[in-house]
Amino acid sequence: MYSTKKGHQWYFGMKVHTGVDAGSRYVHMITGTSANVHDVTQTYALIRDDAEVRYGDPGYLGVERCSAIDEHLLQVDFRINQLPAA
């Protein structure tokens, strides 16, 4: 476990990254990382071979530019929620 700072708040611990099937709503993959590991680095572990569309929160913005993404994942349609304009 490691600590990380988000804004002016410090966090210590771990994060859980979860892959859920959109149709059945069943969890098919879970990975755990330290708090200082960025969400986008776990994308490859959360997507199954038959995935066509991937939904995610703003932590997965820029997934197309991540170096861990292989050719198969480039075929997946990523739909990332955007933060509201401030």
CA dist 82 and 28 (Å) reads 25
pLDDT in tens, 29-79: 999 999 888 888 888 788 777 777 777 888 777 777 765 556 656 677 777
For residue 76, being part of any structural domain is answered with: yes
CA dist 42 and 86 (Å) reads 28
CB environment 26-46: b (16+ within 10 A), e (fewer) = eeeeeeebebebebbebbeeb
pTM of the model: 0.67
For residue 86, being part of any structural domain is answered with: no
Q: 């997934």: which residue's tokens?
A: 63
Q: Model confidence at 6, in pLDDT bands (50, 70, 90)?
A: confident
- Range of 69's domain? 2-80
pLDDT in tens, 7-34: 899 888 898 989 888 888 899 999 999 9
Number of domains the chain is built from: 1
For residue 85, being part of any structural domain is answered with: no
For residue 57, being part of any structural domain is answered with: yes
For residue 48, being part of any structural domain is answered with: yes
